[in-house]
Structure formats: structure tokens, C-alpha cells
Structure 1
Amino acid sequence: MTSAFPPRDTAVGGYLEPIRAGGTVLWRTGAEGPEVVLIRRPDRGDWTLPKGKLKNGEHPITGAVREVREETGLRPVLGRRLPPQHYLKDGWPKQVEWWAATPAEPGRAIDYEPNDEVDEVEWVPVEAALSRLTYAHDVKVLDNFRAGPADTFPVILLRHLSAGEKRSWDGNDLLRPLDETGRADALALPQVLAAYGPARVVSSAAARCTESLLPYSVEFDAPMRTERALTVPVNGRGEAGDFHVEAAREAFAAILAEGRPTVVCTHGEIIPHLMREALTQLGAPVSQQLGLRKGAFWAVHLARGGGLAGVERHAVRG
């Protein structure tokens, strides 16, 4: 007799809030194909992929980057998202978020000081890594990495950050600025988006959009280009009007076709049309939930050789 339920991956007795962690498959091209970083933990005598627990309130993106850097001495640049892993750790459920990643400084050798937590950090060919890994859930992560394209680039689609309410703004809607929450998130945004590496910046011409990306643009010396087709226009009274859907989709299609890492900031009513354009163009299924809340973004990962490599959604606040 077989059970209709899958093997248990939650604790007996009901739901327990999982321990949250993040990590990466840090890879490079070696002499005989892809190589990945493995670490050895002396207290357990195991070989595993670099990962670690998120701090309270920490964004999973920045937490994964921090943990990998602490455990390897290498700063990762995130590529496509990999499926999360769920398993029990000492009887408590654990959820680990995973990304493919490359070193920010590709030619830099591993220069890591062994300590009580990690005493060896090593580049290992993928096939050898599969044999060396101690845990089945790490093997599954590496299998997921091998199943998709490794060399990818992101196009990030951001809905502008929190702005003052339309009804409380008497001026031209194009000039409506970020509010206090939006300004705080604009200062936090560069740290989150930095995990994906350098990118050009394209924005709606509305103040709330350009202000959302201004700290990112300044911090990374990325000139900002405004795009009229991605801007919600105003009518004769300075109120938000109708935008041209086809012009917006064509503008976004051109950005995708240029094959460059890009951060795009635009309006909530435009984003579903842009995502539909991207998914349709890339031959992917179209979700019914393409919209974003203010301060959230889609990261669309495209394979260098063409095609969709992955899609993920995050809020600036994690």
C-alpha cells in the first residue's frame, strides 16, 4: 500500500515557520567545462554549497550575497533564480533560496582565511562536485543549475516607489514626488539591485519614477535615460491620462532585444503589458498575476544565447 502524500518535509504536529536561508551556485568556466565553489565545514566534516541563515528582516537577495561572500571570500553576482529547497534541520523546517551566480571579479583567486566554520573553499568541476557533495538537497540544487542556461543577464522591471496620493497633489501629475516611505526605499534599492551586477537605467519621465532610481543611478554611475512610451501622460489639466499600450510594448521589446542588463522603472498600469510582451516574445506561459505593488520588481533573466532563463518577483523591502 502506498501513501497519497509525498515524503514529509515539515515537522510533525503542523506548520512551523521555516528557518530562512539563502545561497548560490557560484560558477565559472573551467578548462574542462563549468566549475562550482564547494566549501568544507570542519565541525561537520561535510562538503556543501555556500549558503547561510538570513538575519531578521534581511532581504533574501542581500542575505544570500552576504552569506556567500562570508563563506568564500568571493562576491557573487546573481544570475537566474533556482528552485528553493525545503527540508528538516534538527526537526525544524528550513527553506533555502538559491541563485546561480558568478564572481564579481572573475579572475580573482580564492583568498579565504580558514576558520572554525569553513576551513576549505575550492573550485570543483560540476561532475566531481556532484560526487563530493554530502547532502541530497545540495545535489538537487546542482542538478537544477545544470538543467538551465548558466550564462544569463537580467532585465529588471520596477514599479515606482511610494509616492504621494493623487488626490492630495494639486500640481501636474508628472511632477508628483516620492513620499517619505518612497525616499527611504530609494536609498535601500541600490543595495538590493547591486546583487545583479551593473546595469543601465531606463525610466518613465515622471518624477516618481526618476526619483526611484536616482540613488541607484548616482551610486553606480549609470546614466538615466527617460522613455516617453513608458510614461503615463497627463491631460490638459495636468491629470494622469491614457498611455499607448502598443508604444509601451514596442519600447520594452526593443530593450529586451538589445541584450543588455537593464533596470526599467515605470507605472503600475503599464507593467502588466510589458511583462505580457516579454513572456509572449520569449515563448513562455503568461501568468494572470503580472501586476506589482509599489516598490516591487520583476527580474526577467534571459539566456545569452536567446530565450527565457527565469522570472522572479521581489519587493524592495524583502
Structure 2
Amino acid sequence: MPAPAAKAVRAAGVVVFRPGRRVLLVHRPKYDDWSFPKGKLDPGEHATTAAVREVAEETGLHVRLCLPLHDQAYRVLAGHKTVHYWTGRVVGDDDVSRYRANDEIDAVRWVDLDEAADLLTYDHDSATLAEALGRRRRTHALVVLRHGRARSRSAWRRDDTERPLLRAGELQAERLVPVLAAYGVTQLVSSTSLRCRQTLAPFAGMTGWDLVTRRRLSEEGASPAGVRRVVTDTLALVAEGRSTVVCTHRPVLPEVFAALGLEDPGLDPGEMLVAHLRKGRVAGTERHLVR
């Protein structure tokens, strides 16, 4: 009888920094090890959402994701484990002195970076810390999002600006909520067209952040100069520390990326490119498709 196939285990975590050259570590009494806060993805959960959730559950701190790091990959008893990592920053209070120890995590500490290298138990964590040190400077996100799956243009007989999302697109919009929240998005900028507004409506409704529309981001109102103006205004928001999402259409996206100095990656419906900005410059990017 053939041996059962090795199980693929996915997890996510965050290397959380704070000023003063400190990094957040946790101690697990079951394994007597020091590591970064991390944990397995729930069924159907996006890795970004799991990373933020696990930090909250294991440390009591709310964080936002910054630059992505290389995945960790190693063998475990259950099979093959992949851990997705980001650098991150605390949103709000970063005091861990009131943390209550439990059977899973019995200590949470802000550790000096020089001490952390010696305290970490595993070589793969030491390698992740070494990578993260070069990416620890604070960044804020500009999320460029293509609207969710919409009704077919050929089957829609009315004003195209009022063409709505399909049910699949509505589900994408709902699943975007925790992903955008993971990057600390507080500014929402959308094309005036319904399908873009619908894509961001669940996030606006859940968070209470205003949804601002710009005709310059619509297919009907876009021009290279107009899109550049919107992008310039958006970059100013991000420079003030306000992570922002911009939702628009496939024909407009090349102008958005050109204004950012990036190549158009050809996003699918419901897919986003996250540009991490520091001092007005793109320090790194990543892509996520929410199905």
C-alpha cells in the first residue's frame, strides 16, 4: 500500500519592529523555543489575514504589514511547511507588559536586535531576521486594485458606468476586506463606475472610511495627465502615513503604473499590486489575487 502523500502546511507570520532597534519575539513552552509570532492559515484564509490575526492572538498587538520577506520552507512531522512572512509595525499601543501567559505562548518580549540573533532558536528564523533587518524601515502601502469580476460588457445594454459586479465579484469584494485591513489602508479612492465602487464598498462599510471617487480613474474619463494627477495626489496621502487603495479598470491600469514608474503586471479581476512606499519611492511590491 503506497505511503500517504506528504501534507502541505501553510502558515504566516510577521517580523514586527519598533523604534529603538527592537523586534517582537514569543516563547512557546511546548517547544521551549523563541521565534516570531506566526501560525497556520484557517481554511480559505488569505496569508496576509492570517499573519495579522496570529500576531494579535499570540501577542495582543494589532499590526499592519510592511515589506514582504522570503517564505520559509521546511519539513515537519505532518509533511512540508511553508511560512509566509512580512515585516510589520504596530498600530496603536505596543506595550506587551500586560500580556497574560498561557499554554501556547508564555512570554512576549521586545528584544534588542543584537540579542534577538542569539535568542532565536532556529536557523531559518535567524535567516529571516537577517533579511528583515535590511527591510525594517517604516513603509506605507499604495494598493492598486483592479475591480472584481463584472457583468460582460457585450451582454450589458445600458450605460457602461453602471455595469455591476457578478456575484463572484461581490464575493471577491467581501474577501478583500481583511486583506486591505492587513496593510492598514485608511484611504479609499475609486473610479466613479459602479463596478469599482462595489469592489470597495464592503471595506468602506466595515471600516467606516470614506470612499472617494475620481472620474479620472474611469474608462470614460481617463487620460494620461488626469491619471498622473490622481496618482500624485494619492502619493501625497501615502507620504502623510495614510495607506491607500486605488481601484480602477484594466485599460486605465497601465497609466497608473506608468505614473508610479512601474511596469504594468497585467492584473486579473480582483487582483492587487501592493507598492510599499518610503519617502515617495517604491521600496518593494507584491501581488495578491483574491478569489
TM-score of the superposed pair, with normalisation by structure 2: 0.90
User: What displacement does 1:200 show?
Assistant: 0.8
What is the CA–CA distance in structure 1 between the aligned matches of 2:253 and 2:205, rounded to whole Å? 24
Percent identity, please.
Answer: 37
**Pair 1:299-2:281 in alignment:** no
Give matches, 1:249-288, under 5 Å.
249-258=228-237, 259=239, 260-280=242-262, 286=263
Which secondary structure state, in structure 2, belongs to the residue aligned with residue 139 of structure 1?
A: helix
Instruction: Name the stretch that deviates more: 181-190 or 246-255.
Output: 246-255
What is the CA–CA distance in structure 2 between the aligned matches of 1:132 and 1:314, rounded to whole Å? 33
Residue identity opposite 1:245 in structure 2: P
User: What displacement does 1:299 show?
Assistant: 0.8
User: What displacement does 1:257 show?
Assistant: 4.1
Match of 2:193 in 1: 206
RMSD: 2.1
User: What displacement does 1:184 show?
Assistant: 2.4
**Pair 1:39-2:13 in alignment:** no
Which secondary structure state, in structure 2, belongs to the residue aligned with residue 214 of structure 1?
A: helix
Q: 8 Å contact 1:74–1:110 — kept in the other structure? A: no
Residue identity opposite 2:176 in structure 1: L
- Which runs of 5 or more structure 2 residues have no equivalent in the other structure? none
- Which runs of 5 or more structure 1 residues have no equivalent in the other structure? 1-12, 235-242, 281-285
Match of 2:9 in 1: 19
What is the CA–CA distance in structure 2 between the aligned matches of 1:173 and 1:167, rounded to whole Å? 10
What is the CA–CA distance in structure 2 between the aligned matches of 1:155 and 1:309, rounded to whole Å? 11
Q: 8 Å contact 2:87–2:135 — kept in the other structure? A: no
User: Number of matched residues?
Assistant: 285
Q: 8 Å contact 2:61–2:93 — kept in the other structure? A: no
Relative to 1, partners in 2 of residues 1:41 and 1:218: Cα closer, same or farther, differing over 3 Å? Answer: same
Relative to 1, partners in 2 of residues 1:221 and 1:56: Cα closer, same or farther, differing over 3 Å? Answer: closer
What is the CA–CA distance in structure 2 between the aligned matches of 1:101 and 1:149, rounded to whole Å? 8
Q: 8 Å contact 1:73–1:110 — kept in the other structure? A: no
Q: 8 Å contact 2:17–2:24 — kept in the other structure? A: yes
Q: 8 Å contact 1:74–1:103 — kept in the other structure? A: yes
What is the CA–CA distance in structure 1 between the aligned matches of 2:10 and 2:258, rounded to whole Å? 31
Per-residue CA deviations over 1:241-293 (Å, capped at 9, x if unaligned) read xx42343234224422442311100001222332233135xxxxx4xx61111
Give matches, 1:182-221, under 5 Å.
182-221=169-208
- Structure ID, larger Rg: 1
What is the CA–CA distance in structure 2 between the aligned matches of 1:222 and 1:200, rounded to whole Å? 7
Q: 8 Å contact 1:149–1:309 — kept in the other structure? A: no
User: What displacement does 1:307 show?
Assistant: 2.3
Per-residue CA deviations over 1:45-97 (Å, capped at 9, x if unaligned) read 11111111112221101111122212112122111211212222248322111
Match of 2:64 in 1: 77
Match of 1:113 in 2: 100
Q: 8 Å contact 2:28–2:105 — kept in the other structure? A: yes
Per-residue CA deviations over 1:135-174 (Å, capped at 9, x if unaligned) read 1111111111111242110001110111111122110000
Per-residue CA deviations over 1:92-138 (Å, capped at 9, x if unaligned) read 32211111112222344343322222111111111111111011111
Match of 1:283 in 2: none
